[in-house]
Structure 1
């Protein structure tokens, strides 16, 4: 299984009144990593990757604080089903400690029928390649749109 490591820059606006990264922002970090991996897997085209999140859970392990160093989001695809697949994550502080772990269940979405459907063979092949690949992910540009 391939674990991609995506650095995500912390922003001043991520911090809440308690002085740590707000829990809602963790979803943003997951999204940045997920979109970055999909761009890598599809060579930037996103072709075929029409999906929706049907479930997302986060286990907060320790707080994150505003620092110049980015957090690292480790992301991998643990399972691929007939109509859905999962992304699993770990959000690491700059000291390598796990601040959160998370799971997203993604359902393939057919834009023509506007409903969930089986994952097409070409998309399944890309997901399987990402699951099995042994390659480094290209660096994430801080501030890149997701």
Structure 2
């Protein structure tokens, strides 16, 4: 694996928000784990002696969320899609009203497309993930202000 390929892999992991990746081939073994307290590390790079990255800035920034908002989280690891196809409009936009059961997005996992629905009736305050981005289990996707009746 070339230095540029390793750097591209690190950049992808940084942008995706993944916490841990393990890649193993006949020629190389790479184990990357990210933590807020510990810089990302490359465990082993076989025998080609490439330097490991020293630090990766976490892509997700800490959001100070109001206590009265509901966070809709990903129930699985996969790829986040805001619309059913690239030509169609997104399921929801920031500011849109939603009712419990409204389709918010699709998460593709292992070629299966899973519709994610709103857990509450309310208004979409913020979409926390970019379209066509990898997401992890329990990663926040939407911030919803519930309607109190």
- Larger helix share, 1 or 2: 1
CA radius of gyration, larger in: 2
TM-score (norm 1): 0.29
Q: Which has the higher contact order (CA 8 A, sep 6+)?
A: 1
Given the two structures, how large is their TM-score scaled by the length of structure 2?
0.29
